[in-house]
Amino acid sequence: YKTEFSHEGKTYELARFTVEQLGFPSGATTEEILDEKNLEKLFADYTLTNKLSVKTIKDWIYNDEGDSAMEASHLFQKKWFKYFPNINDLDEINHVLHTFTDAWNYFPHKSLSGKSPYQKVKEAYKEPPQNETPSKKEMPNVVVGGIEMNWKEYEQMLKKMEKVQAPFKKWIKKDLLPEYEHYLRKSYTDKTVAKHFGVANIFFDRVLHVGFVHLDLVRKAFIQKEFPKWWQTHVMMSNLSEKEVLSSLKRLFEFISQTYDIDIKKFGF
């Protein structure tokens, strides 16, 4: 190529890079390459390059942990979220969450035979051969409490449960939780109030979700073991240990005992 600034003809060769040379020895999808770049930029923006790397994130994802896909996803979220403890802006949180969600969806998982969730979804929904017509897919059956039921039966059960739960839910939302917050504010700082009230709020949301219809029916094992363990993999914006969650529940149930004259020994306190 001859420029107007030179009398001598010069030849320039464009740089060519293979996927392997860009750091993907086994090949990569466009999404993987973009996600690596997005992660690198995120780490640079938050000065985390000395603490986090793309390799670390890919290792976490490839060697995901958990008894279910949901639990594995929550555990992954807990791992990275502790590096962003001071983000208060909702748009920032959404941006960070979106970046890591993309990484989870597009990077390979050992549990998926080295493929990504995105690749597995594409395989599951690829078009059928031309001589076949796609069959109408029915909703899968649901197993609740060891009983298998179809989706319609499950929806009917949920509606019935919501109706039965209504008085209990009203007591929690309109009476118990407001009174508990008022009680906490008389003795504790805003930060401590937020912690204990947050545990109480999430606890009762979980109680209702599981299907308990009265406080007396909430199992001791659910309070003492199941909920504190569940917290570790499902409450992303918290670093409370199982012991700390249980300690907060003890405070809650002591308040319930004092205010509503309920014997809490049966709950393990």
User: Domain end: 86, 112, 137, which one?
Assistant: 137
Q: What is the mean pLDDT of the chain?
A: 82
Which residues, at least 6 apart from 136, have a Cβ–Cβ distance to it below 8 Å?
none
| Same-domain check for residues 58 and 124 | yes
Last residue of a domain, one of 85, 116, 137: 137
Place of tokens 């309109």: 174
Closest CA to 102 of 91, 117, 114: 117
Band (66; pLDDT cuts 50, 70, 90): confident
- Are 6 and 109 members of one domain? yes
Are residues 116 and 156 located together in one domain of the fold?
A: no
pLDDT at site 128: 55
Burial of 87 (0-12, 13-18, 19+ CB in 10 A): middle
Residues 71 and 6 in one domain: yes
CB proximity list for 119: less than 8 A, separation 6 or greater: 29, 112
Among candidates 116, 122, 126, 123, which has minimal Cα distance to 35? 116
pLDDT in tens, 151-165: 777 678 778 878 889
Same-domain status, 104 and 191: no
Q: What is the mean pLDDT of residues 74-100?
A: 84
> Within this chain, do residues 97 and 121 fall inside the same structural domain, yes or no?
yes
* Same domain as 64, residue 186: no
Q: Which pLDDT tens digit goes with each residue over 178-204?
A: 999 999 999 999 999 999 999 999 999
CB distance 123 to 112 below 8 Å: no
Q: Are 149 and 141 in contact (CB under 8 A)?
A: yes
Query: Do 40 and 106 belong together in one domain?
Result: yes
Its domain, for residue 109, covers 1-137
Secondary structure of residue 109 in the 3-state scheme: strand
Strand partners, 106: none
pLDDT for residue 144 = 57
**pLDDT tens digits for 109-136?**
999 999 888 888 888 777 555 555 555 5
Retrieve residue 83's tokens.
């590096």
pTM for this structure? 0.59
Judgement on whether residues 91 and 177 belong to the same structural domain of the protein: no
Q: What is the mean pLDDT of residues 193-218?
A: 94
Q: Both 165 and 61 in a single domain?
A: no
pLDDT in tens, 4-32: 444 444 443 433 433 344 344 444 555 66
Strand pairing partners for 149? Answer: 142
- Give yes or no: residues 177 and 88 share one domain: no
Of 122, 137, 152, which residue constitutes the final position of a domain?
Answer: 137
Q: Are residues 168 and 192 in the same domain?
A: yes
Our CA dihedral for 237, 240, 245, 251, rounded to 10 degrees, sits at: -100
Q: How many domains is the chain built from?
A: 2
Comparing CA positions, the residue from 166, 168, 144 lying closest to residue 155 is 144
Local structure of 149: helix, strand or coil: strand
